[in-house]
A and B are shown apart, each in its own frame.
Chain A
Amino acid sequence: MKELLIDAKTENLDTVLEFINRELEEADYPAKLSMQITVAVEEIFVNIAHYAYNPDVGGAVIRIFYIKDEIVIEFEDSGTPYNPLENEAPDINAGAERRKIGGLGIFMVKKIMDSIKYEYKDGKNILTISKKCLQGEVAK
């Protein structure tokens, strides 16, 4: 398992994305899948950075591990209890005039990943996402 402990602020996004990209490169994920998983990680981390401790800053922990042929990424923060899965889905068929700005992040995470799970435990928000590796990819 790999773990990153970091202040949940958007200035740290590059560090988070480097952490996930290094792992995806080592695991030899194809570029398209890597990009999509990276998008999912960005959406969740930025969400934590914006809302978990607002207006203060607090810590987040990101863990990456594998269960059989699935990559599992876990996000933990000790901020305000918040279940992003309860967000209303945006209308993706709406034209530009009727489209609302925002709300797309979690929608994209749901689309990209195979599973997404939220729990609030011991004063912590824990969001876990996973995605099956395609055949031929090496899971560690």
Chain B
Amino acid sequence: MTINKTQENGKLILAIEGRLDTTTAPQFQNVLIPAFDKAKEVMLDFKNLVYVSSAGLRVLLMGQKTAKAKSCSMTVTGVSDDVMEILEMTGFSDMLTII
């Protein structure tokens, strides 16, 4: 998994490429959680995310909780059909802000 960071008018975009699984989720967590100290708006670009397991979902939930606690926003974009099905199965599609 690789994470590409871009900053755009105070918004931080994290583009995730590859697999978000038990092995890679800690790396994602280490980037996502501190992101809310740097930006009020964090956008996750999942266009090139090909796989997500519960370890990845756990980090997304932590991100959502951190965003709320710090009055920031976290949005998710570019979700593929395959990944969306996992998000729907677990109720994450309603919990997250997907655009």
Binding site for B on A (CB under 8 A): 10, 13-14, 17, 31-32, 35-36, 38-39, 42-43, 46, 92-97, 99, 101-102, 104-105, 107-108, 111-112
In the bound complex, CA of A99 to CA of B68 (Å): 13
Question: Which residues of A sit under 8 angstroms from B46, Cβ to Cβ?
Answer: none
In the bound complex, CA of A53 to CA of B59 (Å): 25
B64 engages A39 (CB within 8 Å): no
A104 engages B23 (CB within 8 Å): no
Q: Which partner residue on chain A sits nearest B69 by CB separation? A: A97
Q: Contacts A104-B57, A105-B54 hold; do A42 and B21 have CB atoms under 8 A apart?
A: yes
The 10 closest A-B pairs by CB, nearest first: A92-B91, A96-B64, A104-B54, A105-B54, A42-B53, A32-B82, A46-B22, A39-B53, A111-B89, A35-B82
B95 engages A95 (CB within 8 Å): yes
Q: Which partner residue on chain B sits nearest A41 by CB separation? A: B53
B61 engages A38 (CB within 8 Å): no
In the bound complex, CA of A29 to CA of B96 (Å): 30
| CB contact between B54 and one of A38, A95, A108 (< 8 Å): that residue | A108
Question: Which residues of A sit under 8 angstroms from B81, Cβ to Cβ?
Answer: 32
B94 engages A13 (CB within 8 Å): no
CB of B25 to closest CB in A, whole Å: 10
In the bound complex, CA of A36 to CA of B68 (Å): 30
Pick from B50, B55, B62, B68 the residue with the most CB of A within 10 Å: B55
B58 engages A104 (CB within 8 Å): yes
B89 engages A93 (CB within 8 Å): no
| CB contact between B91 and one of A10, A43, A46, A93 (< 8 Å): that residue | A93
B90 engages A108 (CB within 8 Å): yes
**Would you call B37 an interface residue if the criterion is a C-beta within 8 Å of the partner chain's C-beta atoms?**
no
CB of B72 to closest CB in A, whole Å: 12
A36 engages B22 (CB within 8 Å): no
A96 engages B65 (CB within 8 Å): yes
| CB contact between A108 and one of B61, B62, B65, B89 (< 8 Å): that residue | B89
29 contacts between A and B (CB under 8 A): A13-B21, A13-B23, A14-B23, A17-B21, A31-B82, A32-B81, A32-B85, A35-B50, A39-B51, A39-B52, A39-B53, A39-B54, A43-B54, A96-B61, A96-B64, A96-B65, A96-B68, A97-B68, A99-B65, A101-B58, A101-B61, A101-B62, A105-B54, A107-B90, A108-B54, A108-B86, A108-B90, A111-B90, A112-B89
